[in-house]
């Protein structure tokens, strides 16, 4: 994961919503495809940064929400399982209450025999070598609550490193506000382009190391009239680059 040769542009949350809209409606690249790419890159960061380049025999706990972010976490779980890790998944909702992406990925895990349990409110987390936070993405609205909040507090209280997908759950990508509770990540792998809130002083402490992953956004999308950004082929060396 090479460092970025120059600082990539940062997007507001509204701009990121426009990227997602244009990917789906204008380019016909589905959210399922985007989160498949996200989960693949997340598994690669987990392997290379936290699992010594070899996941075999390592214990990984994936905390997955009901939306697209959770779906990306389930892709990560599947790939790490395929690479020999002992993967445990805790979900915030049962399969009937999952969004389309998470439900699709959950059905794959079921067919593979990978257990995805519903988390108990206030329960302790099993011992692991790595915790993957895929609870909440940039769609956060206020402080997390319920079982999601319990999982965040439990993740912060254990000793294993935490790798967050897109944003540490509980951090506002627009303002950088770190809600109570919010994940205190060892590293965060954000998607497409980094979000403005992540570089705020308060947020950076929760973000930890920041990586940026390619989810196949065409540079022409950024350069269009709505965003007007000159991004270029920033992933020409690697699917994941380090921002800080």
Q: 5 pLDDT exceeds 80?
A: no
Average pLDDT taken over every residue of the chain: 96
| pLDDT on residue 139 | 85
With b for 16 or more beta-carbon neighbours within 10 A and e for fewer, the 154-188 pattern comes to bbbeeebbbbbbbbbbbbbbeebbbbebbbbbbbb
173 within domain boundaries:
yes
The CATH number assigned to the domain holding 234 equals 3.40.50.10260
Token pair of 236 as six digits:
């020409």
Convert the pLDDT of each residue in 29-41 to its tens digit.
Answer: 999 999 999 999 9
8 within domain boundaries:
no
152 within domain boundaries:
yes
51 within domain boundaries:
yes
219 within domain boundaries:
yes
| pLDDT on residue 7 | 85
| pLDDT on residue 52 | 98
18 within domain boundaries:
yes
Domain count, the chain: 1
Convert the pLDDT of each residue in 130-188 to its tens digit.
Answer: 999 999 999 888 999 999 999 999 999 999 999 999 999 999 999 999 999 999 999 99
Using DSSP, state whether 34 is helix, strand or coil: helix
Token pair of 150 as six digits:
């319990």
Closest CA to 79 of 109, 118, 49, 111: 109
30 within domain boundaries:
yes
Domain with 103 in it:
13-242
| pLDDT on residue 223 | 96
1 within domain boundaries:
no
| pLDDT on residue 3 | 80
| pLDDT on residue 124 | 87
């Amino acid at each position: 994961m090479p460092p970025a040769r120059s600082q990539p542009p940062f997007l507001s949350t509204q701009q990121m919503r426009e990227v997602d809209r244009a990917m789906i409606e204008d380019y016909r690249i589905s959210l399922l495809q985007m989160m498949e790419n996200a989960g693949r890159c997340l598994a690669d960061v987990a392997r290379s940064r936290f699992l010594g380049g070899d996941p075999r025999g390592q214990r990984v706990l994936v905390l997955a929400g009901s939306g697209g972010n959770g779906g990306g976490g389930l892709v990560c779980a599947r790939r790490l399982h395929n690479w020999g890790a002992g993967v445990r998944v805790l979900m915030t909702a049962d399969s009937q209450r999952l969004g389309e992406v998470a439900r699709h990925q959950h059905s794959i895990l079921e067919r593979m025999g990978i257990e995805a349990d519903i988390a108990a409110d206030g329960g302790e987390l099993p011992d692991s070598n790595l915790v993957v936070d895929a609870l909440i993405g940039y769609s956060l609205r206020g402080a997390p609550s319920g079982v999601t909040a319990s999982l965040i507090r439990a993740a912060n209280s254990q000793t294993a490193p935490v790798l967050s997908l897109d944003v540490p759950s509980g951090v506002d990508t627009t303002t950088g506000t770190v809600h109570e509770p919010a994940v205190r990540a060892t590293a965060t792998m954000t998607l497409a382009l980094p979000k403005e809130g992540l570089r705020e002083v308060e947020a950076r402490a929760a973000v930890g190391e920041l990586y940026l992953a390619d989810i196949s956004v065409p540079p022409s999308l950024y350069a269009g009239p709505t965003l007007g950004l000159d991004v270029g082929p920033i992933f020409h060396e690697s699917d994941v680059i380090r921002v800080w």
